[in-house]
Structure 1
Amino acid sequence: MLEIVKDAPATGAGARLIIRPRAAVSALFFLNGLMMGSWAPKIPLFAEALHLSSVDLGIMLFIFGIGSLICMPVAGMQIARFGSSHVVQVAAFFYLPTIVGMTLVHSVWAGAIAIFLFGGIGGAMDVAMNANAVEVERSMRRSIMSSCHAFWSLGCLVGSACGGFLIALLGPLGHALIVAGAGWVLFFIIRPMIFADAPHPSERRERAKFPVSPLPWLIGIIALFSMIPEGSILDWGALYLRDELNAPTAFSGFAFAAFSLAMAAMRFAGDLVRDRLGAVRTLRICAVISCVGLVVAGQAPDVTVALIGFGIAGIGISNMVPIALSAGGNIPGLAPGIALSIVTTLGYSGILFAPSVIGFIAEYTSLATVYTGVSLLSLVVLALSGLARHADRVAGH
C-alpha cells in the first residue's frame, strides 16, 4: 500500500491525493520528453531552411545548450520564491509553442533566438518539473523520480517515432501545430492536478540564497558523471559500431537503442528497487553495473558483445540521475529549486558539452578507448554514493 500525506487515508479522497499529483508530474515529464523527441526529426529541416552547414548547425545546437544552462539557475531562483508548481506551469505553457517558432524561422538570427528559447524554456521546465517531483515524493513519502524520468523517455520515444510520419503527412508546420496543440490540451487537463508547493513567505529569502555548501555541487558531479556516458553513447555509439566494429549502417543506430530500451525499462522499476534497498545501496549497485557495461562495450570484439555492453550500461545508468536529483532536492536547509538547478545544470552539461571533448580524444585514440575510460567516471560516482542518503529523506520527511 502506498504511503501518502500524513494522516490521510489510503482510500477515497486520500487515494486521489496519491494519483492526481503523481499523474500530473508524470505527464509533465512526458510533455517535456515529447517536445525533445519531436525536435529530433525537425533538425535536418531546420538546417535546410536556414541553409546551415554542419559547422553552423553545431553552433546552433551549442546555442540550444547555452539557453538551457542560463535558464536552469534562473528557474531555480524562481522556484525558491514562488514554488515549483507556479514555475512549471509558466514554463510548460510557453515551452509548448516554441516548436512552432522553430518551424517558422527563415533567417539565421531568428533561428538562433528560437533555438535559444527552445533550449532555455525547456531547461527551466526541466528544473521545475524535477522540483515538483521531489515535492510529490515528499508528500507520498516514497520514491517516484525514476518512473518520472521513464515517462520522459517515453515522451522522447513517442515524439521521435511519430515526428517523421506527421511531417510527411502534414508538413513541418502541421507537425509543429499538432504537437503544440496536443501538448496544450494535455497541459490544461493536468494543470488542476499539479502539486501546489509555494514556500512560506518568511522562508523565501533565507532559502533562496546562493548555496555555499559543497553538497549540491558534489551531488551535481554525480549527475554529471552519470550523464557523460549517456551523451557519449548518444553521439558516438553509431560511429563506434560502424567504424570500429564494422557494423552495417542499418545496425549502427542500435547502440543507443539498446542503451535507451534498457534504461527506460529499468526506470519504471527503479522506484521499487530504491524503496527496497535505499538510495545509497541502489546507487552503488547502479554505478558498478554501469562501469561493467561500459568496459564490456569498450572492449567488445564484435557488434553483439558491444550491444550487450551498452544494454548493461543502460541498466546501470538508468537510476543514477534520478537518485542524484532526489538527493539534490532534499538537501537540508536548501530550497529544492536552488539545489536542483545546480545538480541539473552540472548534469546536463555532461550531455551538452562532453561529446565534443570525447570527439577530440577519440581522434587521437579510439572510441573503444573512450568507452573504457568513461567507465572510470562510474567509479567516481561509487566513491560519492554516500551522498545519496539525502534522497532517502523522501521516506522519512
Structure 2
Amino acid sequence: MDQHTIIPPHGVARSRYMPKTRLAVSLLFLMNGFVTGSWAPKIPEFKDRLGISEGVLGLLILAFGVGSLVLMPIAGGFIARMGSQKVVKVTAVLLSPLLLLLTLLPNVWTAVIGMFLLGGFVGAMDVAMNANAVEVEKSMRRAIMSSCHAYWSLGGLIGAASGGLVMAHFGVLPHAILVTLVCLGVLAVAWPMLLADQPHPDTAKQKLRLPMTPLPWLIGLVALFSMVPEGTVLDWGALYLRNELGASVALSGFGFAAFSATMAIMRFAGDHVRDRFGGVKTLRVCTLTALVGLVLAGLAPNAPLAILGFALAGVGISNMVPIAFSAAGNMPGLAPGIGLSVATFMGYSGMLFAPSLIGFVAEHTGFAIIFTSVPILFIVVLALSRHAVHADPKGHD
C-alpha cells in the first residue's frame, strides 16, 4: 500500500477526515507556542509587580522548568492509559487561563505555584500533542511532525511580537484576558476535529512506570543532544557575538534571528524531505549540517560569518527534534505516550539546565570554544541515527 494512502475510520469520508485531524493538532501546537511566546513580554512587568530581584526571578523561572519535568512523565502515563486526545484536551483547557492567573497572583509564594503550573501544563500538553501528532502520522502514513513544530514556532513568534504591543496600548490585565480568549477560541475550533486515538487494551491495564528497555532512552539521548546545542545558541549566541566578536547591539541580535528563521522555514519543509528520504538519512544530513554550522560559528573571525554559521545550524537542528519525537512515539511494543514522555523529559531538561552549566564553563573558557566543542554531542546523535527508522510511519503499516 502506498505510504500516502489515508485510511479513515469506518463511516468517515476519506477526503475530509485526515486533513481535519492534521489541522486540529497543528492548531494545538500553535496555541501552546502562543502561550509560551506571550509569557516572554510579561516577565519585566511580573518582576516589577512582585518587587523581586533577578535572582528570585531566576528561581521562579526554574519553578517553570521543574513543573515541566514533573508533569511530562505523568502526562505520558495517562496518554498510555487513556489516549492522547483526552489528555491533550484536559491539559489545553487547564493551560488556557494560566497567564491570567499569573497576572492576578498577589505575592512571590503564590507565584511559585503559578509558575510551576504554567511550566507543568505547557510540558504536559507538549507530550500529549506530540503523541496525537504521532497518531495522525500513522493514520496518514506520512510525516507531519516537523510542520507541527513549525506551527509551535509560529505561535511563539505571534505571542512574543503581539504581547508587548497589546500591553502597551491596553494594559497587562486585558492582554492576559485576550490570551485566554484566543486560546479557548483556538481550542474550540480544534476540539471536534482531534484524532480520537485509543490505547491498546493491554497497555491500559498496565501500571504507570518508566520503560525498562534501552531503546526509548537512546532516542531520548538523541533528543537531549539535539536540544542542548539549540538552547546554547538561543541563550548565549547574542552574548558571544557582542562580547567576543565585537558585534553591535543591533547586529548581535541577528544570530538568534538567523537561527530561528532558518529553523522555522526548514520545519515547514522537513516533512516533505523526511517522506522522500526517510528518517535515518534526513537525521544524518541534518546533524552533519548542524555540526558544520556550529563549528563555523565557533571558529568565525567576525560576526557576519558567525551569523552565517548560526543560520546553517538552524537548518540542521530544525528537524532533528521532530524526528526524535516521531521515533519516540513509534517505539515497537511501547505506548506512544511513554516513549514521548522519555524523549520530551530528556530533551527539555537539556534545554532548561544545560545552558546554565555552559554559562559557568564559558566564564573560564570563552564562548568560541563552547560553540566549537558542543557539536561533539552530534557525533553521538550520528552513532544513534539508525534508530530514526522508527520515525517513518510507513515502517508500521
What's the offset of the Cα at 1:335?
A: 0.5
Q: Kindly report the root-mean-square deviation, in angstroms, between the aligned alpha carbons of the 2 structures.
A: 1.6
Q: Which residue of 2 aligns with 1:105?
A: 105
SS in structure 2 of the partner of residue 253 of structure 1:
helix
What's the offset of the Cα at 1:394?
A: 4.4
Q: Deviation per CA, 1:282-309, whole angstroms, max 9, x where unpaired?
A: 0000010000000011111111001100
Q: Which residue of 1 aligns with 2:62?
A: 62
Q: Deviation per CA, 1:202-251, whole angstroms, max 9, x where unpaired?
A: 43124854310011111001000100111111111111111111111122
Q: Which residue of 1 aligns with 2:250?
A: 250
Q: Which residue of 1 aligns with 2:232?
A: 232
When normalised by structure 2's length, the TM-score is 0.97
Q: Which residue of 1 aligns with 2:131?
A: 131
What's the offset of the Cα at 1:104?
A: 1.2
Q: Which residue of 2 aligns with 1:86?
A: 86
Which residue type is aligned with residue 119 of structure 2? G
Hey, what's the Cα distance between the residues in 2 that align with 1:99 and 1:394?
Answer: 40
Hey, what's the Cα distance between the residues in 1 that align with 2:204 and 2:239?
Answer: 48
SS in structure 2 of the partner of residue 333 of structure 1:
coil
Maintained 8 Å contact 1:255/1:307: yes
Hey, what's the Cα distance between the residues in 2 that align with 1:112 and 1:381?
Answer: 36
Written as runs of structure 1 = structure 2, the 5 A alignment for 1:5-44 is 5-6=6-7, 13-44=13-44
Q: Deviation per CA, 1:35-72, whole angstroms, max 9, x where unpaired?
A: 01001101111111111211111111111100000000
Q: Which residue of 2 aligns with 1:3?
A: 4
Q: 1:144 to 1:207 in 2, by over 3 A?
A: farther
Hey, what's the Cα distance between the residues in 2 that align with 1:318 and 1:228?
Answer: 13
Q: Which residue of 2 aligns with 1:201?
A: 201
Q: Percent identity among equivalent residues? A: 55
Q: Deviation per CA, 1:250-303, whole angstroms, max 9, x where unpaired?
A: 222211111000000000000000011110000000010000000011111111
Hey, what's the Cα distance between the residues in 1 that align with 2:70 and 2:237?
Answer: 28
Maintained 8 Å contact 1:94/1:121: yes
Hey, what's the Cα distance between the residues in 2 that align with 1:21 and 1:267?
Answer: 19
Maintained 8 Å contact 1:32/1:122: yes
Which residue type is aligned with residue 3 of structure 1? H
Which residue type is aligned with residue 279 of structure 1? G
What's the offset of the Cα at 1:395?
A: 5.0
List runs of 5+ in structure 2 lacking aligned partners.
none
Which residue type is aligned with residue 121 of structure 2? I
SS in structure 1 of the partner of residue 296 of structure 2:
helix
Which residue type is aligned with residue 344 of structure 1? T
Hey, what's the Cα distance between the residues in 2 that align with 1:86 and 1:364?
Answer: 49
Maintained 8 Å contact 2:222/2:324: yes
Q: Are 1:212 and 2:212 matched, yes or no?
A: yes
What's the offset of the Cα at 1:5?
A: 3.6
Maintained 8 Å contact 2:227/2:348: yes
Q: Mean alpha-carbon deviation: is it higher for 198-207 or for 126-135? A: 198-207
What's the offset of the Cα at 1:8?
A: 7.8
Hey, what's the Cα distance between the residues in 2 that align with 1:103 and 1:164?
Answer: 15
Which residue type is aligned with residue 332 of structure 1? P
Which residue type is aligned with residue 6 of structure 1? I
Maintained 8 Å contact 1:83/1:199: yes
**Displaced runs of 4+ in structure 1, greater than 3 A?**
4-9, 200-203, 206-209, 393-396
Q: Are 1:390 and 2:390 matched, yes or no?
A: yes
Q: Deviation per CA, 1:68-97, whole angstroms, max 9, x where unpaired?
A: 000000000000111000000000001010
Q: Which residue of 1 aligns with 2:117?
A: 117
Maintained 8 Å contact 1:137/1:394: no
Hey, what's the Cα distance between the residues in 1 that align with 2:146 and 2:220?
Answer: 17
Which residue type is aligned with residue 161 of structure 2? A
Hey, what's the Cα distance between the residues in 1 that align with 2:58 and 2:371?
Answer: 23
Q: 1:100 to 1:4 in 2, by over 3 A?
A: farther
Q: Are 1:50 and 2:50 matched, yes or no?
A: yes
What's the offset of the Cα at 1:198?
A: 2.1
Hey, what's the Cα distance between the residues in 2 that align with 1:244 and 1:394?
Answer: 47
Maintained 8 Å contact 2:6/2:139: yes
Hey, what's the Cα distance between the residues in 2 that align with 1:208 and 1:110?
Answer: 30
Q: Mean alpha-carbon deviation: is it higher for 205-214 or for 105-114? A: 205-214
Maintained 8 Å contact 1:105/1:111: yes
Hey, what's the Cα distance between the residues in 2 that align with 1:117 and 1:65?
Answer: 10
Written as runs of structure 1 = structure 2, the 5 A alignment for 1:268-279 is 268-279=268-279
Maintained 8 Å contact 1:141/1:395: no
Maintained 8 Å contact 1:207/1:333: no
Maintained 8 Å contact 2:331/2:390: yes
What's the offset of the Cα at 1:2?
A: 7.9
Hey, what's the Cα distance between the residues in 1 that align with 2:5 and 2:57?
Answer: 47
Q: Are 1:336 and 2:327 matched, yes or no?
A: no
Which residue type is aligned with residue 67 of structure 1? G
List runs of 5+ in structure 1 lacking aligned partners.
none
Maintained 8 Å contact 1:4/1:17: no
Q: Are 1:355 and 2:355 matched, yes or no?
A: yes
Maintained 8 Å contact 1:295/1:372: yes
Which residue type is aligned with residue 353 of structure 2? F
Maintained 8 Å contact 2:91/2:121: yes
- Report the number of matched residues: 395
Hey, what's the Cα distance between the residues in 2 that align with 1:134 and 1:127?
Answer: 11
Q: 1:202 to 1:213 in 2, by over 3 A?
A: closer
